[in-house]
Structure formats: C-alpha cells, structure tokens
Amino acid sequence: MRFPAVAFVVVLFGALVSCGSKDKDFKKHPSGLSYRFLEMNPEGKTPKTGDILVLSTKISNKDNVVVDESNFYRMQLRNPMFQGDFYTALALLQVGDSVCFKLDASGFFQKNRKRDLPKEFMQGDEVYINVRLKNILNAEDLESERENSYHTDFEQEMNLLKNYIELSNTTVKPTASGLYYIEKKKGNGKKAQVGNTLVVHYTGTTIDGKIFDSSLQRGTPLTFVLGKEQVIKGWDEGFQFMQAGGEGRLIIPSNLAYGKDGYSTLILPYSTLVFEVELLEVK
C-alpha cells in the first residue's frame, strides 16, 4: 500500500454559471448520457486516454443547488468504468469547450467519485455537471506546476479537508491524531490487533474522489502485519477499529500518510487520502 498508482490535484475556487436543467435543451449520447454544449471550440485539442485534464466544474442537482465546484480541477482521463459515465462525457470535449452533462447521480458519486450520495440527491436522481476543458497537460507540464500546487502547507490541507467533511456529510469525530474512521459494515470475526496479519481489499482516492490505487482493480487483496510500519500510519491506527468481515472508510490527513514530502510525483505534499476498506481476514 506504499506504492499508489496515480495522483490528482484539485484547487477549490472560482465558479461557473449553472447550466440549468431544461430537458428539452439536452441531446442524448449513444451511451445514454445527456449533454448540452454551451460553448464549442472546433479548433481545440481532443484529449486521449491517459491525458491529464485541467477543468472548471460546477456540480448541482435538478434544483440548481450547487454541491461542489472547482476552477482548476486536474484529473486523468481514463477508460469508461461503465456505459455513459463521467469519463465517457469528458472524452467528448475539446479544449475550450463548455458543456453541461446530465448523468445518473448514484453512478457519478458512488462509482466515479467513490463517495456516498450527497444529501441533496436521492437514488434515481440526476446530477448536472457543468464542465469547461481548459487545458491538457503532459507529464512535464504537471511536474513544472507541482511546486505551485494547492497543497503547499498543512493549513491549506486542513481547509480542504474541512470542505470535504462537510460535502461528504461526515458526522464522526476524528481521533486525537486526526484520523476519521467511518464504519460501513460491522464485522463479526476476530478483532484486529497489533501483530496480527491482515488481509484487506481497498480503494484509495484523493479527497476529490479520484482513484490512485485499488486492490479491487488488481483483483488481489493486500496482506500486511498491523502496527509494524509496513503501511502508512493511518492504516496502522484505523484497522484497529475493525473486525474480520467489516467494511469502513478511512479519511487520513497527510501527517498520517505521506506528509510534507508526498510520494515521488504521485502523491502531492500535504495530501489527505480516503480509503474504502474491507477487512477480509485476521490471522
């Protein structure tokens, strides 16, 4: 769990004009998603899978209640996770385009962003996502901007974490170290203790919901000894709350993860990480 695959950066400021929710203005894509172009730039570059996209986004419900927005939101374009998902939508854009997408809210938040459905939505609702593709970065561009990224100190990280706690409707209190543990399913097996060997499945995301590592995607669970510094501090602490068969969410600030140095070019300095975890076995 020390070798995450991809890192993403988000800077939360600025705004977009709401794209509205008049169904008659939307066109239907063959994948099932609905879209409405607000601005088109036929001369703009088209992204390809693997590119890092710089976006402005505003996310709202059918009543135009904004639940999230960002002026400089960087994410990697991946192959679609399912038909008509957010990656499908982004592949339609060219640099300079501004589009409103209408997607299934559950699919977007729970599958693409790996977070619970916000309180502003119910199962079956649609989410309206106003997106402008501002730029496409290569690896050299991303590295040159790294020193000027949002995560420049612990105070900025804490401000972003505070926003995430509010947006994700997290009500549990952090531990003394700053770790959040949210129980999703109580286990009925052996309780994890320091020195036990644990077998776990996990999906790790940045707090903007982008996956950087997942044992589920690889199809192989991770095995480690609890409390022996084989994993980040947030894991050594967090799994002590769990029993075999349990599932939970760990929200781990950088002082319990990769700290002020980050990890190579993959995890930025002062990055809070979120893990959906399942404790399969305690040996």
Residue 258 annotated to the active site: yes
CB-CB contact of 228 with 221 (8 Å): no
Handedness of CA 139, 144, 150, 154 (dihedral sign): positive
pLDDT of residue 190: 96
pLDDT of residue 2: 36
Catalytic choice (164, 213, 236, 263): 213
The position carrying tokens 């879209």 is 35
Q: Is 151-282 the same fold as 9-147? A: yes
Q: Which of 146, 117, 105 is nearest to 8 (CA)?
A: 146
The two structure tokens encoding residue 242: 């769990």
Residue 87 annotated to the active site: no
Catalytic choice (136, 232, 251, 252): 232
Bridge-partner residues for 156, per DSSP? none
For the domain covering 151-282, report its CATH number.
3.10.50.40
Residue 267 annotated to the active site: no
The two structure tokens encoding residue 232: 């980040």
| Tens digits of residue pLDDT in 101-129 | 999 999 898 887 767 788 889 999 999 99
Catalytic choice (181, 202, 224, 270): 202
Question: Rounded mean pLDDT of 149-174?
Answer: 81
| Alpha-carbon gap, residue 47 to 77, rounded angstroms | 8
Residue 202 annotated to the active site: yes
Domain 9-147, CATH number (from 3.10.450.230, 3.40.50.80, 3.40.50.300, 3.10.50.40) = 3.10.50.40
Confidence of residue 74 (pLDDT cuts 50, 70, 90): confident
Residue 150 annotated to the active site: no
- For the chain, what are the domain ranges? 9-147, 151-282
Q: Out of 108-122, 156-170, 238-252, give the one with best mean pLDDT.
A: 238-252
Residue 275 annotated to the active site: yes
- Dihedrals phi, psi of 119, to nearest 5 degrees: -65, -20
pTM to 2 decimals?
A: 0.53
